Chains A and B, each alone.
Chain A
Amino acid sequence: MNRLRESSPQRKRQKVSPSLTNEESILYNLIYSKKDIGIWTGDMKRETNLPVTVFNKTLKELMSKSMIKEVTTIQNKGRKHYMAIEFEPSKEITGGNWYTDGKLDTDFIAALKDVCFKYISKQKVSTLDGFLEWSKKNGIFNSEVTPTQVEDIMKTLVLDDAIVEVTSNGYGDFASIPVGRVCYKCKSNVKVKGELKYGLVPYIPCFACPRISFCSPDGVVSPRTCVYYDKWHVLEVIHI
């Protein structure tokens, strides 16, 4: 659909241009040339060199003729950004799939993550298709959630280290999944035994201290004069 729209601009523009004043057509052509990226008013003023009052009037006119529209950009929500009516804002402008009104839809993401994570922890292990099938069957999502979106969510869960991506070996939890298939497994199901635990270094006093770069026996702060031990380190570490 988009492509169709893009292939016929010439014709469209010719159709509308006669009704435009000279200034309007200068401004419109500029906005149109920016396609699905659109343009900021500041840039328009600079590039068209129109006096401010004329510029404002022309912009208003084009808006009232429904030839251009205002769009929100994720880069700069405060700035007024315009685009020719026939284009859909590109990913660079909207931020992509997960953005609504130029803002990352964190609530939606969190909700999706939660569903995916709960499903995997219940199943112990699941493939992407397995999850999609289940969600379809149970009508978990409305049609707006695409398989790519679910894949994005799984990937972030992997990056969060909440789940891990593994290949099935056909045994145990993997029994129902063909060998070699990529699947997702819950991290919390894996028990950490033995004494060695990871990620404890960050909680170690001094290592966790924001002042460590100034702190040395002859530095601005010194371990002998340090007051943080009593204040927060000991507390923080003991609480863990």
Chain B
Amino acid sequence: MVSQWGIKFAVHLITNHFGKIVAKVCETLLRQGPLTLELLIRFTELSKEHVKNSLLVLIQHNCVQAFICEGGDVDESRVKTQYLVLFDNILHRPRFPKFMEIVLQELDKHCEKVLEGLLRDGRLTLKQMIDRASQGASQENDSAVVADAVRENLCKLLMARYVERCPAAEVTIVEEEIITKKRGAKSDQNFKAPETTIQRVIEAAVPGDAIRFSLTADTGCNSDEETKPADINVAENNEKEQLILWRVNFEEFLRYLRDKLLIENVRARMDDGAATVVRAMLEATRNVDKRVKIENSVPLELDQLFTEVIKTENGLQMTMDRVKAYLVQLGCSSQISFAYTIDLKHIIHLARNEEVESIVLKRYGRDAYRMFRHLSKEKQFCPTDKIAESTLVEKKEAPKLLNRLLKDNYLHMEKLNVSVVGSNKQTQLLMWRVNQPLLWEYVLDEMYHAALNLSLRMAFEQEKDEEILNVPKDKITASEPLQKKYKRLQNVCLLLGSSLLKLDDALMLFHDF
């Protein structure tokens, strides 16, 4: 379930990019969950035409996925196509510059160009990409050369998994009860937490890995049912290839950013050596598990890890024993048949804690910060006095600070009635705890709120001083007040822009990783 400010922020982004009508459709889907076209029209009170077009825009930009839910009940409305909004993909939109930067760093500027087109238009066929490139290319360039170059760049992007085949336009999922019934026979051990509709629809829509990143694999391209390779001739194959729709694979970018965060976090907490080991571990298992949210890294044998470590400049001087010692320090002492795995979730949680703690330090001061860190570590209810004692905070001050944290939802408190030893009197103890999952959700919501306000403010600043942006440069330099105004706008935009980027790093940490 997306939080209230999360929805507002997403709607704001869609309004900015596609206008109010599309945003209304998007908001309705965010608030109500998956809906059929009829219901969407009813809830939004928009014309059928408007809703349909909005859905097309949202699908084109990978913000909506259509699906059919086949169920046991014969309810008519259930077998109709429903539309599911993909909140995460909306939030990726302000991250596009980050994604382009990654491709520029990892591949080259030609690939970045192809990626830019895909980000701008949402989904493109190879033919469309070639057309775009030819428009920009100079006349002398042979169109065949351009086509080859685009094809080659797309291949590179596919190899690196930064681009993927579009998912099936519409998928069919089976009613949850039926799945549960089928699962009933299995042992409890194999039971996984039930997936949400969103997860099931997304999973069903993604084509198998073999064709997802393949330019040439001949299949029923945008469909989830795999067809047998047929003996079709090359021309036909080429034609088909040109019609396949491609889009950006956000998952890979997020994984890249997650790995970066993990490595830098370990570097900051431990040292360069530990960061090198983590990096090597992630690099070596890069292609085995491609998901973003994983608890542990894929198990890797020490030999393989070592080979990866010494590939890096920092790792060159490391011995096997040293690598082992780092693994122990990283808490991966438990080996599964000589293979090591790093608890990635733990590092992510540490990073989240650090972020929340820094908020506490800034807002409530050092004493509150110590108490909060103490409670985070304890992971259980602690009485007021005990907290004050362990953190060396004045016992009379402690309740005041704790109450402030409670009021702002940073702590959880419960009252406990205990009888006083040696008398029949009862006294009330206040017990405090940090409820991490709840707190993280709350902080995330605060972040969405701040992101919305920041971006509204940015729009306002630009709008307010719009005329200055149209004044020629020499005129600005000539007049002092104009220059001052211009400088201010520049500063504010720079500050707000960089703040938004930083806030977005934090949003990813709390939502995506």
Q: Which A residues have a C-beta under 8 Å from some C-beta of B?
A: 35, 74-75, 92, 95-96, 98, 103-104, 106, 109, 152, 155-156, 159-161, 164, 166-167, 169-171, 179, 190, 192-209, 212, 215-217, 222-224, 226, 229, 234, 237-238
A-B contact pairs, 29 of them (CB 8 A): A35-B422, A92-B385, A96-B389, A98-B392, A104-B392, A159-B369, A159-B391, A167-B328, A169-B325, A170-B325, A192-B268, A194-B264, A198-B358, A199-B359, A200-B502, A201-B503, A202-B362, A205-B454, A206-B449, A206-B453, A207-B503, A212-B449, A212-B450, A216-B449, A223-B454, A224-B457, A226-B457, A229-B492, A238-B495
Closest 7 CB pairs of A and B: A199-B358, A202-B362, A207-B450, A169-B325, A223-B456, A206-B450, A196-B264
Question: Which residues of chain B have C-beta atoms less than 8 A from A223's C-beta?
Answer: 453-454, 456-457, 460
User: Cβ of B329 and Cβ of A169 under 8 Å apart?
Assistant: yes
Residue of A at shortest CB range from B352?
A: A198
Q: A194-B264, A226-B457 are in contact. Are A169 and B328 (CB under 8 A)?
A: yes
Q: Determine which of B263, B268, B394, B457 lies in contact with A198 in the assembled complex, contact meaning CB atoms within 8 Å.
A: B268
Q: Any chain A CB within 8 A of the CB of B270?
A: yes
Asked if residues A159 and B370 are in contact (CB atoms below 8 Å), the reply is yes
> Bound complex: CA of A156 vs CA of B460, how far in Å?
45
How close is B440's CB to chain A, nearest CB, in angstroms? 13
Tell me which residues from 20 to 63 in chain B have a Cβ below 8 Å from any Cβ of chain A. Answer: none
Q: Which residues of A sit under 8 angstroms from B270, Cβ to Cβ?
A: 190
Interface flag for B290 (CB, 8 Å): no
Interface readout for B376-406 with A: 1 if CB under 8 Å, 0 if not? 0000000001000111111110000000000
With a cutoff of 8 Å between Cβ atoms, the chain B residues found around residue A196 in the complex are 260-261, 264-265, 268, 505
Chain B, interface residues (CB within 8 Å), range: 35 or more
Is the CB of B490 closer than 8 A to any CB of chain A? no
Residues of B within 8 A of A194 (CB): 260, 263-264, 267
Q: Chain B at the A interface: mostly helix, strand, loop or mixed? A: helix
Within the assembled complex, what's the spacing in Å between the Cα atoms of A222 and B355? 26
A237 lies within 8 A of B499 (CB): yes
* Contact residue among A96, A201, A229 (Cβ-Cβ distance under 8 Å from B447): A201
Partner pick for B495 among A179, A202, A205, CB 8 A cutoff: A205
Which residues of chain B come closer than 8 Å to A203, judged between CB atoms? 362
Asked if A104 and B454 sit within 8 Å, CB to CB, the answer is no
Query: Bound complex: CA of A206 vs CA of B5, how far in Å?
Result: 14
- Cβ of A222: which chain B residues have Cβ within 8 Å of it? 456
Whole-angstrom distance between the Cβ of A194 and the nearest chain B Cβ: 4
A156: contacting residue among B326, B392, B495, B496, CB under 8 A? B392
Contact between A190 and B392 (Cβ–Cβ < 8 Å)? no
B338-374 contact mask (Cβ, 8 Å, vs A): 1 or 0: 0000000000000100110111011100100110011
Indicate whether B17 reaches chain A with its CB closer than 8 angstroms. no
Interface positions of B (Cβ within 8 A of A): 8, 260-261, 263-265, 267-272, 322, 325-326, 328-329, 351, 354-355, 357-359, 361-363, 366, 369-370, 373-374, 385, 389-396, 422, 446-447, 449-450, 452-454, 456-457, 460, 491-492, 495-496, 499, 502-503, 505-506
Give the distance to chain A from B236, nearest Cβ to Cβ, in Å. Answer: 48
Q: Which partner residue on chain B sits nearest A189 by CB separation?
A: B271
> What is the bound-complex CA distance between A194 and B259, given in angstroms?
13
Say whether A206 contacts B492, CB under 8 Å.
no
Nearest CB in chain B: distance from A99 CB, A: 8
Q: When the two chains form their complex, are residues B370 and A156 in contact, meaning their CB atoms are under 8 A apart?
A: yes
Known: A104-B392, A171-B325. A215 touches B503 (CB 8 A): no
A234 x B495 contact (CB < 8 A): yes
Nearest-CB residue, chain B, relative to A106: B394
Is A169's CB under 8 angstroms from B326's CB? yes
A216 CA / B452 CA spacing, docked (Å): 8
B444 to chain A, nearest CB (A): 11
Alpha-carbon separation in the docked complex, A234 to B355 (Å): 21
Select B396's contact among A75, A106, A179, beta carbons within 8 Å.
Answer: A75
Distance (whole angstroms) from the CB of A68 to the closest CB of chain B: 19
In the bound complex, how far is the Cα of B450 from the Cα of A209, in angstroms? 9
- Is B396 a contact of A212 with CB atoms below 8 Å? no
Please name all residues of chain B whose beta carbon is closer than 8 Å to the beta carbon of A198 when the two chains form the complex: 265, 268, 351, 354-355, 358
Q: Are A192 and B267 in contact (CB under 8 A)?
A: yes
Contact residues in A for B261 (Cβ distance below 8 Å) = 196
Q: How far is the CB of B267 from chain A (nearest CB, A)?
A: 6
A160 touches B370 (CB 8 A): yes
How close is B506's CB to chain A, nearest CB, in angstroms? 5
